[in-house]
Structure 1
Amino acid sequence: MGTPSTLFSESPEDPFALGRAASAVLDDDGTVVGWSARAQELLGYTAKDVIGRAWQDLLVDARDLPVVRAAAADAMSKGGWFGALPIRHRDGRRVEMGFRARAIAREQDGREWFLVGAPVAEVMAWQRDRALLDGLYQRSPIGLVVHSPDRRVLRINRAVAKASGYPAEAPVGHRPREFLVPEDAGPAEERVRHVLETGEPLIFAEQSARSRLDPGRERMVSVSAFRMEDSSGRVLGVAETIEDVTERYRAQRRLTLLNEASARIGTSLDVRQTARELAEVAVDGLADYCSVDLLQPVTVGDEPRPGIAVPLLRVALSPPDSRVPYQEGEVVPLLPESPQARCLAERRPILERLLSLRPEWHAMDQRRKEIALGLGVHSLIVVPLVARGLILGVVSLWRARYSEPFEDDDAAVAQEFSSRAAVCIDNARRFTQQQSAALTLQRSLLPSAVSDLPAVEVACRYLPASGELGIGGDWFDVIPLSGARVALVVGDVVGHGIHAAASMGRLRAAVRTLASLDLEPDEVVARLDDLVSLLATEVEANAGGNLSGDEQVLGATCVYAVYDPVSQRCSLARAGHLAPLVSTPDGRVTVLDLPAGPPLGLGGLPFETYDVELPEGSLLTLFTDGLLEARNGDIDAALASLHQCLAHSADPLDRTCRGVVEALLPRGDHLPTDDIALLIARTQVLPPQNVASWQLPLEATAAARARELTTAKLTEWGLAEVAFTTELVASELVTNAYRYAAGPVTLRLIRTQCLICEVSDTSHTSPHLRRALSTDEGGRGLFLVAQLTERWGTRYTHDGKTVWTEQPLPPA
């Protein structure tokens, strides 16, 4: 007869193990011939009580006999039996027991029955554990991998075998690196090593899992792991549960992608920057390569006209790769059968899951063929950029290397975030259009060029602020004045936008008008102050008190300077503006200490004129505050850099101006946060031989004397050709001074780019031009002067007035 140890499991968890179970031996008639100590513990009967007696008479209650006899008959027919039966305890109570029965052949004819039993509760628990273990390996959808202490695979369940493509027995004895791609095998082995060494369980760690059999198929799994130990604490290995969460991961990734697209796309109002943000977001979460191709009018802020074929311009490519045809800034051809052309024509996404299945893709464009062959591109999505019913361009997304082909869900996600990006691009396009129009308006309000002047040599720069802030109200001007003098002005209207530019235009026109009156600098600034107050009142009245930030005229600042190349005197006044800098030929740079004055628009506060004599070759630098705040807001450091740039006053002005901009403006493509106006003037002095001045007594012979002096000087200058006209002009002006003024009369001739004739007296009476009637004896003098000269006018001084005229010089 076989030994019991060969007939039944010896697993310590097995309730039928001989060390744990009750056992008995029955003969073929049901008489007990063997009884174990464990049976005595469970049922209360000793071996003496039961051996030799029929088991059903002693151990079975009368009411349970039918069930027991049916089980015995079943066992007799099959040669074995497993199940549960009610057994009578010695104290009379019923005990549910689970049994295993097996027929054992004897040496003589006949047979015996070997029974092992255990309480039903223990048997059921063992059965559940067996069923659970069997389910984990055979039917569970969650993968199970068991590793040995040396980190080799001991067993995998059917779910892992199905997902990996390996037979269940194939990975046994191997390490993960032998059946996973290297990028995924490293983290997997490190995970097992950490759990083995520390005993710390791993819970829901997500990781990519790609097998060597199919490296192009990427699966995302959630891994939990724990260390297995026996009752003595000996480490048996590591068990890992692996759940395929690819679909959940992809759905979460798509949702994250849409959230990132909302946060990262449209951070600026620049068309190209917005397109780059779109490409970067797509590559981070959806594709291996992404390009954004816009219709050319869109890139400059214009609206493409429907039905008119225009080329596509590549404005963004991520990641940058020189192997990709059509880099940023290149025109992308639209071939009729290309996905891009079909996308634009049908206004819907085009999904090409496997490009290799479409031979026409490779045949239609050699450069695009290079993409698929050289970069391993195998899948494509092309999405139209449509905003407010307007087609702006297309977004192309490619997958290459190990990535799986695009799916319909990917195309839906691409269309979703591309639609959001299209609105941002269209907003940037509209802003670019408005900004371009506003900047054109502003530049048209500034002097286009500064002509050569006898008083100064001029270099200037105007730099607009960054696009998000809008144009500002900074301006500069160079205004020729009578007597070869020149007015220099720089100003800044508070605020940004079209209203600031319009206010700037008004102020610049007003400055030119006031300058033509030859007023002192403090008077010019005072009248500008009145004008700004009037403008503010008008704007508030028109708006009815409902003013936006851009519409409010809060005020302005300016500095106004007049330089005389004959006397070398410079008169300045400022209204809350930064003081100009003077660089003398010896290299000293100083800030002019002229009174600051209040900003324009406050009204009622006084302004003062500051006079300074400038050596020939000095640099007078006027600028707005944006110049000092452009780099990092450190005014002192910027002012020191400005001093250093202006110290070399002998350098060419254009080089000096460029050096100031390079030293103080942000480096790279960044625009300043405020617009900047910079005006640098190098003073010049008229040669003494080009200026002639005489003081004439107030006598009847003054006019004749004036004619003689004029003719002699013009002959000396080689201008005898205009002598007759000039002596007539001088005679008329001196005659008027003799008739209507008191005190001495000064006659001055200046030869510059024109011939200037000035007559000064001590009277403040203003001469008026009138048309004399045929019966009038006088009143024709100023009329003749106006007809014989190009310009004439009057300027007032503290001591009187000066009437001046300008005549063109004859050709050399």
Structure 2
Amino acid sequence: RMYQHHDAVLHAVREGVLIVGEDGRLLLGNDEARRLLGLPEDAEGRRVTDLGLDPRLVELLVSGRAASDEVRLAGERLVAVNVRSTAPYGGPAGSAVTLRDSTELRALAGRAEAARERLRLLYDAGVKVGTTLDVARTAEELAEVAVPRFADIVTVELLEPVLRGGDAEDRTTEMRRTAARGFTPDTPLYPVGEKIVYVSATPQARSITSGEALLEADMRTAKGWRAQDPERAARILEYGVHSLISVPLRARGVVLGLADFWRRETPEPFGPEDVSFAGELAARAAVAIDNARRYTRERATAVTLQRSLLPQALAGQSALQVAHRYLPAQAGVGGDWFDVIPLPGAR
């Protein structure tokens, strides 16, 4: 009865258990070990080297050395292996092995690391985007910080008035490509400087209209984005671009432009979590772009006002030839003016 009890416990535990003899033969394997390793019915009594296991796992099982949570491949699973000698406990020479499926744990660890990398990227975006008060340069900084850590290619389009420091037009889809990162000489995407009017079926136009980020996970099967330029769309697919997120750049309730995140070299398509992240990244950049836009407008206003205070023409002087030049201070607006006032005696 005691043997039956021990045998029932052995096969009921959730960890795989193996007993390997001194000669490298498998003496015992419980149900979980058979499941994890895919062992054949007649595995017991056979040499471990003949069971079709991964070579690195076999080397560990027959080595006789102690091991603690060493990860080995078992088919499509990752198993944590513990090995202890049976000799010190009065049994025959050999090894007791326990196996624990760590595939899900490793996957969770991978997702946790990915989340930490996203947080680092958001921090870097807060530091590196908006270092100047130049609208175009701020758009370039967004593209630079996202490639290649989030996307293989990033393009940014801004409304024409925004580039000049003006107010954005309501929901227009006419924009100018202002920045790009990840381009190669043969990139079929619109180049920087190109004026683009997005047609209503494209994710870009729908993103602007809705004010929300839109995902084209598989561009090979999606149709709407091709309506912009079917010939160019075919070349984009041939180039290897396969996934897209379009995000409106919104600040203070106004759409200033659009950021497109493209994947080409990264085999995994964008997913729902990526859409949320792209939205967060774009939101931070949009605030910086709006600050630069406001500065551009206020600077232009101040320069215009200051120039209006300068003399339109200088009084003629028979005794002097007067040359003049006006150069604002580094900040763009100075506090100095000039004038020429004739005095008696040709002074």
TM-score normalised per structure 2? 0.68
Specify the alignment match of 1:434 in structure 2. 298
- Structure 2 distance, partners of 1:310, 1:174, is 57
Specify the alignment match of 1:135 in structure 2. 14
Residue identity matched to 1:320: F
Residue identity matched to 1:135: R
Residue identity matched to 1:330: E
- Structure 2 distance, partners of 1:253, 1:275, is 22
Specify the alignment match of 1:370 in structure 2. 235
Give the match's secondary structure for 2:147: helix
Specify the alignment match of 1:258 in structure 2. 122
Q: Relative contact order, CA 8 A, sep 6+: which one is greater?
A: 2
Percent of matched pairs sharing the same residue: 30
Contact 1:479–1:486 at 8 Å: present in 2 too? Answer: no
Specify the alignment match of 1:287 in structure 2. 151
Contact 2:142–2:285 at 8 Å: present in 1 too? Answer: yes
Give the match's secondary structure for 2:142: helix
Question: Unpaired segments of 5 or more residues in structure 1?
Answer: 1-82, 84-97, 101-122, 139-148, 150-154, 162-170, 177-191, 214-220, 450-477, 518-792, 797-812
Give the match's secondary structure for 1:320: coil
Specify the alignment match of 2:176 in structure 1. 313
Q: Kindly state the Cα deviation for residue 229 of structure 1 after the two structures are TM-superposed.
A: 6.8
- Structure 2 distance, partners of 1:234, 1:342, is 67
Q: Number of matched residues?
A: 305
Q: Kindly state the Cα deviation for residue 404 of structure 1 after the two structures are TM-superposed.
A: 2.3
In structure 2, the CA distance between the partners of 1:172 and 1:315, relative to structure 1 (3 Å rule), is: farther
After superposition, residues 105-254 of structure 1 pair within 5 angstroms as 130-131=10-11, 135-137=14-16, 172-174=52-54, 241-242=102-103, 243-245=106-108, 246-254=110-118
Larger-Rg structure: 1
Match of 1:504 among 323, 336, 341: 336
In structure 2, the CA distance between the partners of 1:795 and 1:448, relative to structure 1 (3 Å rule), is: closer
- Structure 2 distance, partners of 1:160, 1:265, is 50
Specify the alignment match of 2:218 in structure 1. 354
Contact 2:164–2:296 at 8 Å: present in 1 too? Answer: yes
Contact 1:287–1:398 at 8 Å: present in 2 too? Answer: yes
Residue identity matched to 2:345: T
- Structure 1 distance, partners of 2:266, 2:309, is 59
Q: Kindly state the Cα deviation for residue 159 of structure 1 after the two structures are TM-superposed.
A: 6.5
Give the match's secondary structure for 1:355: coil
Match of 1:388 among 228, 234, 252: 252
- Structure 2 distance, partners of 1:372, 1:320, is 15
Cα deviations by residue, 1:77-130 (Å, 9 ceiling, x for unpaired)? xxxxxx2xxxxxxxxxxxxxx356xxxxxxxxxxxxxxxxxxxxxx86x976x3
- Structure 2 distance, partners of 1:202, 1:486, is 88
Give the match's secondary structure for 1:356: coil
Cα deviations by residue, 1:372-410 (Å, 9 ceiling, x for unpaired)? 2322x2222111111112111111122234532222222
Contact 2:37–2:53 at 8 Å: present in 1 too? Answer: no
Give the match's secondary structure for 2:157: strand
After superposition, residues 305-344 of structure 1 pair within 5 angstroms as 305-306=169-170, 309=172, 311-322=174-185, 323-344=187-208
TM-score normalised per structure 1? 0.32
In structure 2, the CA distance between the partners of 1:486 and 1:254, relative to structure 1 (3 Å rule), is: closer
Give the match's secondary structure for 1:483: coil
Cα deviations by residue, 1:272-323 (Å, 9 ceiling, x for unpaired)? 222122223333443222211111221222213326x462111121212231
Residue identity matched to 1:370: R
- Structure 2 distance, partners of 1:225, 1:276, is 49
The answer to whether 1:483 aligns with 2:319 is yes
Higher strand share: 1
Contact 1:227–1:239 at 8 Å: present in 2 too? Answer: no
Contact 1:228–1:239 at 8 Å: present in 2 too? Answer: no
Residue identity matched to 2:15: L
Contact 2:140–2:178 at 8 Å: present in 1 too? Answer: yes
- Structure 2 distance, partners of 1:374, 1:484, is 68
- Structure 1 distance, partners of 2:221, 2:37, is 31
Question: Unpaired segments of 5 or more residues in structure 2?
Answer: 18-23, 25-31, 39-50
In structure 2, the CA distance between the partners of 1:302 and 1:157, relative to structure 1 (3 Å rule), is: farther
Contact 2:135–2:289 at 8 Å: present in 1 too? Answer: yes
Q: Kindly state the Cα deviation for residue 429 of structure 1 after the two structures are TM-superposed.
A: 0.9
In structure 2, the CA distance between the partners of 1:479 and 1:250, relative to structure 1 (3 Å rule), is: same
Q: Kindly state the Cα deviation for residue 504 of structure 1 after the two structures are TM-superposed.
A: 0.5
- Structure 1 distance, partners of 2:168, 2:127, is 28
- Structure 2 distance, partners of 1:490, 1:361, is 50
Cα deviations by residue, 1:163-213 (Å, 9 ceiling, x for unpaired)? xxxxxxxx944568xxxxxxxxxxxxxxx99xx9x9997889xxxx9x9x9
Specify the alignment match of 1:454 in structure 2. none
Specify the alignment match of 1:11 in structure 2. none
In structure 2, the CA distance between the partners of 1:131 and 1:385, relative to structure 1 (3 Å rule), is: same
- Structure 2 distance, partners of 1:304, 1:284, is 30
In structure 2, the CA distance between the partners of 1:234 and 1:291, relative to structure 1 (3 Å rule), is: farther
Contact 1:340–1:382 at 8 Å: present in 2 too? Answer: yes
Residue identity matched to 2:132: S
Q: Kindly state the Cα deviation for residue 484 of structure 1 after the two structures are TM-superposed.
A: 4.2
